[in-house]
């Protein structure tokens, strides 16, 4: 058989690949639990994106299946074994400060800008076109090839949970939802809330009463905005001066104004993925740190001093006594992605903890429970997704290494991440691209983009990978 030039096959389809990618990016596929129906259990936007992919696949001759309006798949080929490609079409909230419409999919300077361009709509379309190329070339395959499309990857994974209750588990597979070369280890992910329990009211009245404070919407994002509404009895000008001085010192944008005798303080940070909090600037933590040094009412003092003591300038769990690292997957990280306090109900901190492959979450949680007991806080809404690790010697990894090295001319090193991809829902699955070494990871940030060049290159890599993985039994 003549050797296939995968890149030239991609180039032939370049215009329609870009057009279909833009079509998918135009859809505002955010989780919307306030407007659900049987047809759209997670909201209209994500359902529209799922339908877009299923309709596109049907038009191109794949066998589509909608699985409970939560997930779906597109399949071709024959064989006992199944190769799975796990993608998702939901996106995180767009946030503020974009240069162009976050769902405009504008192309400038060789990049396509949109929420989801990199995570995960661009890569989903690259993998789709890779399948299309292999199918249109009528290459002989011994396995069925199936793209599994999820709609809740950025939140609770209800899509894959439902999907695998009703559909078969692929024999092996990959998720185009992280970094190249190959991610064979993913940290465990524990999400939970630390909730303030009743604290004793102080007999003396404090100078500042915190009415409300909030920052962040998602466990897995570093919050880029925080807002506090406070009542200052005396010397409000001094509080404002201290606030300005503190924000200038930490080099963050800020705002303040007085409304109905209340002082409103706002801080703008830098958003990033919660798996590496150091890549962002947590607006909530900076504002909490400032408030913790003020003369607050007892309930607020208890909350903000707790936040300051255990989370400010410490994303590794050192102050909490749970720091840990291993050679396979690196350090444990903690991201306070949701901070909330009201004078009526007290405070809570929503956290994502990304813990190493060899770390036992049971013992980490026991340490936290002990500590929190003495601090009058408690853990609620605890969920845990165990770490995932695939051995280098497996056929899947050896094949993907070969493909990556042939396509790029670079060594396919194995890497570990703190993010969770759909690969962990497979018995034998790894995350494979789309972010090439040296490219900045701007997923979950404003002005998210993907280089057109990388979109094309990833499509060629995925096409060869599908062929190499599916051509043998």
Establish whether the linkage from the previous residue to 434 is cis, with ω within 30° of 0: yes
Q: How far apart are CA 403 and CA 173, in angstroms?
A: 14
Residue 153 annotated among the catalytic residues of the structure: yes
Cα angle: 34, vertex 39, 42; to 5 degrees? 35
User: Where in 56-143 does DSSP place strands (E)?
Assistant: 63-67, 71-76, 82-88, 106-108, 111-113
Choosing from 153, 177, 331, 448, the catalytic residue is 153
Query: Cβ distance 98 to 447 under 8 Å?
Result: yes
Of the candidates 51, 90, 154, 177, the residue annotated as catalytic is 90
Torsion of the alpha carbons at 49, 52, 56 and 58, rounded to the nearest 10:
100
Phi, psi (degrees; rounded to nearest 5) at 180: -85, 155
What does the block give as tokens for 361? 């979450």
Rounded to an integer, what distance in angstroms lies between the CA atom of residue 281 and that of residue 224? 7
Whether 283 and 225 have beta carbons less than 8 Å apart is answered as: yes
- Alpha carbons 361 and 6: distance in angstroms, whole number: 43
Q: Cβ-count burial of 16 within 10 angstroms (0-12 exposed, 13-18 middle, 19+ buried)?
A: exposed
Question: What are the structure tokens assigned to 75, written together?
Answer: 């399949």
Sequence-ordered list of residues with C-beta below 8 angstroms from that of 333, at least 6 positions apart, any chain: 275, 276, 277, 315, 316, 317, 353, 354, 418
Q: Which two tokens stand for residue 287?
A: 């504002």
Helix, strand or coil, per DSSP, at residue 415 = strand
Q: Tally Cβ neighbours within 10 Å of residue 206.
A: 17
- The reply to whether 90 belongs to the active site is yes
CA dihedral 317→323→329→334, nearest 10 degrees, is: -10
What residues are paired with 230 via a beta bridge?
A: 210, 263
Per the structure block, which two tokens stand in for 145?
A: 């090839």
Mind telling me the catalytic residues?
90, 153
């Amino acid at each position: 058989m003549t050797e296939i030039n995968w890149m030239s096959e991609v180039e032939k389809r370049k215009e329609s690949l870009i057009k279909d990618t833009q079509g998918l990016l135009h859809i505002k596929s955010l989780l919307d639990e306030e407007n659900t129906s049987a047809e759209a259990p997670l909201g209209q936007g994500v359902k529209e994106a799922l339908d877009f992919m299923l309709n596109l696949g049907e038009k191109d001759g794949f066998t589509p299946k909608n699985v409970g309006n939560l997930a779906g798949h597109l399949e071709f080929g024959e064989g006992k074994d199944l190769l799975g490609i796990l993608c998702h079409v939901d996106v995180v909230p767009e946030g503020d400060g974009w240069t162009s419409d976050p769902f405009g999919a504008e192309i400038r300077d060789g990049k396509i800008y949109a929420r989801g361009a990199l995570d995960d709509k661009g890569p989903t379309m690259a993998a789709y076109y890779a399948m299309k190329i292999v199918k249109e070339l009528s290459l002989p395959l011994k396995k069925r090839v199936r793209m599994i499309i999820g709609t809740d990857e950025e939140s609770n994974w209800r899509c894959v949970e439902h999907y695998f209750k009703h559909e078969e588990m692929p024999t092996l597979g990959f998720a185009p939802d992280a970094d190249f070369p190959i991610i064979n280890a993913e940290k465990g992910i524990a999400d939970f809330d630390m909730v303030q329990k009743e604290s004793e009211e102080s007999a003396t009245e404090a100078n500042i009463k915190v009415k409300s404070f909030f920052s962040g919407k998602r466990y897995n994002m570093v919050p880029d905005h925080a807002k506090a509404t406070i009542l200052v009895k005396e010397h409000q000008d001094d509080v404002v001066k201290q606030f300005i001085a503190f924000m200038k010192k930490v080099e963050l944008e800020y705002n303040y104004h007085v409304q109905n005798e209340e002082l409103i303080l706002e801080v703008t940070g830098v958003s990033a993925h919660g798996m590496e909090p150091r890549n962002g600037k947590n607006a909530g933590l900076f504002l909490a740190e400032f408030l913790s040094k003020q003369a607050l009412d007892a309930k607020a003092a208890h909350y903000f001093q707790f936040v300051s003591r255990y989370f400010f300038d410490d994303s590794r769990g050192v102050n909490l006594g749970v720091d840990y690292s291993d050679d396979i997957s690196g350090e444990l990280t903690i991201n306070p992605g949701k901070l909330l306090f009201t004078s009526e109900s007290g405070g809570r901190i929503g956290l994502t903890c990304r813990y190493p492959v060899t770390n036992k979450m049971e013992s980490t949680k026991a340490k936290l429970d002990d500590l929190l007991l003495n601090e009058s806080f408690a853990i609620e809404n605890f969920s845990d997704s165990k770490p995932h690790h695939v051995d280098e010697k497996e056929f899947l990894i050896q094949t993907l290494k070969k493909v990556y090295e042939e396509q790029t001319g670079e060594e396919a090193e194995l890497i570990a991440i703190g993010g969770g991809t759909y690969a962990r829902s497979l018995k034998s699955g790894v995350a494979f691209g789309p972010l090439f070494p040296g490219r900045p990871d701007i997923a979950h940030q404003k002005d998210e983009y993907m280089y057109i060049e990388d979109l094309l290159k990833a499509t060629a890599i995925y096409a060869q990978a599908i062929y190499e993985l599916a051509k043998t039994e």
